[in-house]
Structure 1
Amino acid sequence: MTTPDADRRVAVVTGASAGIGAATARILAAQGFHVVCVARRKEPIEALAGEIGGTAFVADVTDADAVAALTDSLDRVDVLVNNAGGARGLEPVLEADFDNWRWMWEVNVLGTLRVTRALLPKLIDSGDGLIVTVTSIAAIETYDNGSGYTSAKHAQGALHRTLRGELLGKPVRLTEIAPGMVETEFSLNRFKGDRERADAVYKGVKPLVAEDIAEVIGFVASRPSHVNIDQIVIKPRDQASASRYNRT
């Protein structure tokens, strides 16, 4: 990987190939971080890394060997943004798809665990580490037909919040960002490329965009080391809860 200046802080952003991850990489680079853009898709992260002067690292957070290789390639880590995740399907419990559930738990929960556990020693060694985990309002609420995703996000949130206590006294801050409706590739991926169904999610609502979330992550990263912002829930004005919207 490209080696940044020894004194330059390093931020690792997972799921950086598009959406919130890509927008966050741009924000952190503008703040002076050397950003390591991590994702499964090679071409978009190489383009992004070239744009922001960062480093692309192709890795799937569900692959232990890939995460180990990522860890070995890094001399230091000051910020970790756990952004990789996603949803598959939207079915009631009675019709639950076990493959979808396994994938959602593997990427959202075990993926976050795998990356965080691997990079935590470097974050502690930095003397001023920060872990930002992008969960969802689905980590706080439930909604009909969303049990696979909401259960995974609840577990991811519990993992992150548990670390807040376990790392007390260590030089690492932890912030959970829980977005509501954000128009990215999320719904398109959830519905396996069904554009019509994905577009219907946002119909009549002005959703957030990836940059809205990235700007907040940038704000968190710019706080002084004694300030820990535990949790931020971000929803568009047109959204009151996971299942209540103002549609025009």
Structure 2
Amino acid sequence: MSIILDRAAVRVSIDGCPEPKTLLEPITLTLTERRIGVIGANGSGKSTLLRMFNGLVPPSSGTVTVSGADSVRDVRAVRRRVGFVFTDPLAQLVMPTGREDVELSLRRSVRNPRDRRAQAEAVLGRFGLLSLADQSVYELSGGERQLVALAAVLAVSPDILVMDEPSTLLDLRNRELLRRTLAGLEQQIILSTHDLELALDLDRVLVVDAGRIVYDGAAAAAVEHYRKLCAADPAPVPPAGGDPARP
């Protein structure tokens, strides 16, 4: 599986402004590695970039394709291939319990209610959540909610899993649980994070600043670049040297 961005940019119109605001400058990327991270400051464009990967945000210009499927023309095919997990699982969990939420994810692919329940229980059991299946999602810990949201997305077997800052609301214990869970998944994973230890687990890391990819390379080097960027005088940052953004 691969995600390809070809000069993909995002601009939005804002009331009262004569010119559109640029959220992402034109970006060209080919993403094939098994574990990819996106790091950068709040407001840098990380979430916008990730949301292009499954058609939640269409490019204003250029294209985004997932294994040949265009994110605008073939958005349904793209969303079948790319599962998206939001920062706050409560923004994603729409049913009262984890069991019902996973069953909701399966409603189109598994028509028989009995089979759907059995498959939902199998998914919840895989993540050690079966004993919590009928608890209110509001009674679960942050880590448990995040795992339920993850289970609901993975129930439909996407090829690619995109996660927007999945560890932000988690304590240390649950962050470690999430890291172990992600390490055991077979899907290609692309995630944004402020957790630099989590970023160091990944195969490739993109650094985003002011709507541009300013560094693209191995995790340790990318994290070091980001640390220097944060420590530097806040001024426009030119594209990084060393390991430049890859086409």
Place the TM-score, normalised by the shorter chain, in its bin: 0.3 to 0.5
Calculate the TM-score normalised by the size of structure 2: 0.32
Query: Which structure is higher in helix share?
Result: 1
Query: Which structure is higher in strand share?
Result: 2
Calculate the TM-score normalised by the size of structure 1: 0.32
Higher relative contact order (CA 8 A, sep 6+): 2
